[in-house]
Amino acid sequence: MTRVIHAMEIIKTQLQLFESVSLPELEKVSLLDRMDTKYVFAREQLPEFLEILSDKYFILEISEKRIFKYESLYFDTDDFLLYNHHYCGRLNRYKVRFRKYVESNLSFFEIKFKNNKGRTIKSRIQHIPEDAIQGKALDLLQDKTPLEGTGLKAKFWVNYSRITLVSKDFKERLTLDCDLEFRNDQAVKTLNHLVIAEVKQSKVGRSVFSRLMKDYHIRIGSISKYCFGVVSLFENVRNNNFKPQLIYLNRLLYAAPTGS
């Protein structure tokens, strides 16, 4: 635990190198319709990366905070239909969740749709998290998807801390998620030593961060936090298609220093 606290203090110090932007400024690059590129790496590398990026990106700051806690409650069917669509690589697929922004005490019901052109389209309304999809959340679900609200059950929470950067031309948003936790009524899985990074652009273009990942031989691609949570918490689900990603993640996990 001491090493975890020390690592986060180093990261917080590095974040002070960035010029800040406010939430209204960040909304210039909200990117509800976007192309996503994911990477995953060891948290021990993050301070070095932040130093390199500090003059290329702004950082989101709200009430003098630069790291924010997110709590997301994901839904799926009893037989994990939505997970299996991801597992099989099906396009035109959905993720359904409630998300809470802890520091601002704001919550939304969100639907993420990955279309057959590889674009991610997000729809959301402000809504308090619930164990069932009802009211305005159900209206949005019926408007945006072919899914039945009664068939979707609350499966588990994905909680993490997020750093949000935006390129200085406001064409790219970069999120860095750490302190990952998967939680349901039966188990809790905590992964303190991974960072899941996601580059979000209206169309794939030049990215300082993506070039940095290439320089450090960190490859594109990661299992989504939702799918990783399903595999981590539930035993009777298929995961063979995710084996390359899981092997890579486990290699990072086992390489982490003892106690981290």
pLDDT at 29: 67
- Tell me how far the alpha carbon of residue 16 is from its chain's centroid: 23
- Tell me how far the alpha carbon of residue 84 is from its chain's centroid: 19
Per-residue pLDDT tens, the chain, 260 aa: give them.
445 556 778 899 999 999 999 988 887 766 666 688 899 999 999 999 999 999 999 999 999 999 999 999 999 999 999 999 999 988 899 999 999 999 888 999 999 999 988 888 999 999 999 999 999 999 999 999 999 999 999 999 999 999 999 999 888 999 999 999 999 999 999 988 899 999 988 777 789 999 999 999 998 887 889 999 999 999 989 999 888 888 888 888 777 554 44
How far is the CA of 140 from the CAs of 70, 136, 172, in angstroms? 22, 6, 27
Task: Kindly give the pairing relationship between strand 57-60 and strand 19-21.
Answer: parallel
pLDDT at 252: 83
pLDDT at 3: 53
pLDDT at 164: 96
Taken in order 44, 47, 52, 58, the sign of the CA dihedral is positive
Q: Looking at domain 2-255, what is its CATH homologous superfamily?
A: Hypothetical Protein Pfu-838710-001 (2.40.320.10)
Taken in order 253, 216, 228, 241, the sign of the CA dihedral is negative
**What predicted TM-score, i.e. pTM, was given to this entire model?**
0.89
Q: Are 37 and 202 in contact (CB under 8 A)?
A: no
- Give the pLDDT confidence of 132-159 residue by residue, as tens digits: 999 999 999 999 999 999 999 999 999 9
pLDDT at 146: 95
pLDDT at 32: 62
CB pairs under 8 A, 24+ apart, for 182-189?
A: 182/156, 182/157, 182/158, 182/228, 182/229, 182/232, 182/233, 183/156, 183/157, 183/159, 184/155, 184/156, 184/157, 184/233, 186/233, 187/233, 189/229, 189/232, 189/233
Quickly tell me which residue has 């520091």 as its tokens: 103
Q: List the domain boundaries for the chain.
A: 2-255
